[in-house]
Structure formats: structure tokens, C-alpha cells
């Protein structure tokens, strides 16, 4: 078992406002986590810290046992794949899919450097694994939201990162596309990647996720074993909404009254 992430008393302050407060979190390679919380609870900020993309205002962050501030952040980021809406919105929409994926090697938004044969081979493997080889010559901006999401997942995999971080990957997807993206994420976990997955919907918590963290107003209100966390009272309190929780074949569903 390998230590993946450790946060000690991490806080984030912006414009005098505390966005994350005293976050303590530990994740090892036997774990996959879901993070749940209402809009504005600080989930995306937390992911930016976990992925080494943001330094906390106070506290200690260790990723793969290495403390941020004492390691080469560019090397570290290669071991972490991060998929969020941000890149989907910001990426030049005229770029070919294959170049969107190649750009992951250079952490750039656009392709400005030469791609080696080794990189090309790697990307073919990824395209086949995610079953999107047929999309490789399409224009990124012409793809559906679900197809774009899979392309960005492909881009995040170019360095075969151990840890994959997803910020609401099923946002704005119809049911079939959602299933498709979740299926790809399941395959990645089965292949040996560990994931952290932010969502508002418990039905997106794939069975391989074994731990859940509840975030409310920048604080962890509870975290730990998924089975204990998928409790109606806890979830109703977290999301300020009344519903039941149903479990079926390892998946959870909201039951609205
Ligand atoms: N520069 C800033 N100054 C002050 N507050 C900020 C700043 N940037 C973001 N915030 C606030 O930080 C809080 C947490 O934002 P974050 O994006 O992490 O929330 P979230 O849980 O991901 O929400 P959502 O579910 O809507 O994606 C929000 O209340 C947001 O308004
Ligand atoms: Mg967010």
C-alpha cells in the first residue's frame, strides 16, 4: 500500500474569506474517494490542492509522500490526471481531437511542440482503451459534451498517472453519455488507477469508490467508509434536501418523496 495524498490542517483564504478550513485528509492506494457537497462548499478548490495545482494559504500537502514546496511540481503533476470543466470551456474549439490529447504531454492549451513516435503510440493505446479512436481527426468543438469529456480524460492519461481527479465529470451529460463516461472511469480503476471524484449525484458513485468525504462551507463534516456515509440522515443534512437512499448492486440512488 502506498500513501497517495495527505493534507494537514489545510486552509485557503481568498479576499478575506475562508474557503477551506482545517482540512485533514489521507488517501492511500487501496482507496478511491468521492467528494460530495453543495455548490460553493469548496470542492473544486480542494481538488486543485489535491492535484498540486494550488498551494494552500496554510497547512501541509503531501502528494505521493512528497511535501509540496520541496518537490518539482511539474514532475509531480505528471503523476496526477485532472479532468474538469475548466479545460473543456477554455480549450480552442477548432483544434483536432488528436492534438488536444497530444497537448497533454506539454501541459499546454494547443499544440506547439513536436510529437515523438513514442507519444503517438501511447495516444493510440489510450484512444483504443477509451473506445474513441474514431474521434481522433474530428474538431474538438464539434464533439458532444460527452465525447469532449472522454477526449479530456484521454488527455489526462498521457503520462499514465497513478492518481486521477475528476471534477463533476458527468455534469451536463445525458443518461447514455453519463453511463459511457462512468464506464470508462470504472475501466481505469480496474486498470489500477486511483480516483478522487467530485459529484452532486450519489448515483454516479461507482461501486469501486470505497470512501466518501462530505464538505460543507469549506469544512469536512464527515468522511470515511462509503457504506457508513451513504446514510439518509447524513446526506439529507449535507445537501439540505429530503430524500431517501436506495442501494442496488453496489450503486446508490436518491429516492425523492
Ligand atoms: N477569489 C475568490 N474570492 C473569494 N471567494 C471565492 C473566490 N473564488 C471562489 N470563491 C468562493 O469559494 C467557494 C468555493 O468555491 P468552489 O468552486 O471550490 O466550490 P464548489 O464546491 O466546487 O462548487 P460547485 O458545486 O458549484 O462547483 C465559493 O463560495 C466561491 O464563491
Ligand atoms: Mg466546483
pLDDT category of residue 82 using cuts at 50, 70 and 90 = very high
> What distance in Å separates the CA atoms of residue 235 and residue 233, rounded to the nearest whole number?
6
Average pLDDT on 6-14 reads 97
pLDDT surpasses 90 at 50: yes
Q: Please list the residues that pair with 164 across neighbouring strands.
A: 81, 195
CA of 81 to the centre of ligand 1 (A): 21
pLDDT surpasses 80 at 72: yes
CA of 39 to the centre of ligand 1 (A): 8
Ligand nearest to the CA of 17: 1
Tell me the per-residue pLDDT of 164-203, one tens digit each, with 9 for 90 and over: 999 999 998 999 999 999 999 999 999 999 999 999 999 9
Strand pairing category for 219-225 and 211-216: antiparallel
Spatial contact of 45 and 20, defined as CB atoms under 8 Å apart: yes
Q: Which CATH class is domain 1-79+162-172+191-257?
A: alpha beta
Provide the mean pLDDT of the chain: 94
CA of 200 to the centre of ligand 2 (A): 10
pLDDT surpasses 80 at 257: no
- Residue 110 has a pLDDT of 83
pLDDT surpasses 90 at 81: yes
pLDDT surpasses 90 at 55: yes
> What distance in Å separates the CA atoms of residue 196 and residue 46, rounded to the nearest whole number?
11
Nearest residue (CA) to ligand 1, atom 24:
39
Range list for CATH 3.40.50.300 in the chain:
1-79+162-172+191-257
Pocket of ligand 1 (CB under 6 A): 14-15, 17, 19, 37, 39-45
Amino acid at each position: 500500500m502506498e500513501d497517495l495524498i495527505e493534507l494537514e490542517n489545510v486552509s485557503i483564504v481568498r479576499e478575506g474569506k475562508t474557503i477551506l478550513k482545517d482540512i485533514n485528509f489521507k488517501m492511500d492506494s487501496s482507496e478511491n474517494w468521492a467528494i460530495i457537497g453543495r455548490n460553493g462548499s469548496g470542492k473544486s478548490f480542494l481538488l486543485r490542492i489535491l492535484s498540486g495545482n494550488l498551494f494552500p494559504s496554510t497547512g501541509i500537502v503531501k502528494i505521493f509522500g512528497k511535501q509540496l514546496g520541496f518537490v518539482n511540481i511539474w514532475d509531480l503533476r505528471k503523476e496526477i490526471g485532472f479532468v474538469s470543466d475548466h479545460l473543456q470551456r477554455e480549450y480552442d474549439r477548432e483544434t483536432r481531437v488528436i492534438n488536444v490529447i497530444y497537448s497533454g504531454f506539454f501541459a499546454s492549451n494547443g499544440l506547439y511542440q513536436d510529437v515523438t513516435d513514442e507519444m503517438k503510440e501511447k495516444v493510440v493505446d489510450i484512444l483504443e482503451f477509451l473506445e474513441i479512436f474514431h474521434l481522433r481527426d474530428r474538431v474538438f468543438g464539434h464533439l458532444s459534451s460527452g465525447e469532449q469529456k472522454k477526449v479530456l480524460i484521454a488527455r489526462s492519461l498521457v503520462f499514465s498517472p497513478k492518481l486521477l481527479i475528476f471534477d463533476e465529470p458527468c455534469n451536463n451529460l445525458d443518461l447514455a453519455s453519463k453511463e459511457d463516461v462512468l464506464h470508462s472511469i470504472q475501466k481505469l480503476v480496474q486498470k489500477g488507477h486511483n480516483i478522487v471524484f467530485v459529484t452532486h449525484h450519489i448515483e454516479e458513485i461507482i461501486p469501486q469508490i470505497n470512501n466518501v468525504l462530505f464538505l460543507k462551507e469549506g469544512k469536512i463534516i464527515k468522511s470515511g467508509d462509503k457504506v457508513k456515509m451513504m446514510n439518509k440522515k447524513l446526506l439529507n443534512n449535507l445537501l439540505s434536501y429530503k430524500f431517501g437512499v436506495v442501494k442496488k448492486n453496489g450503486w446508490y440512488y436518491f429516492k425523492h418523496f
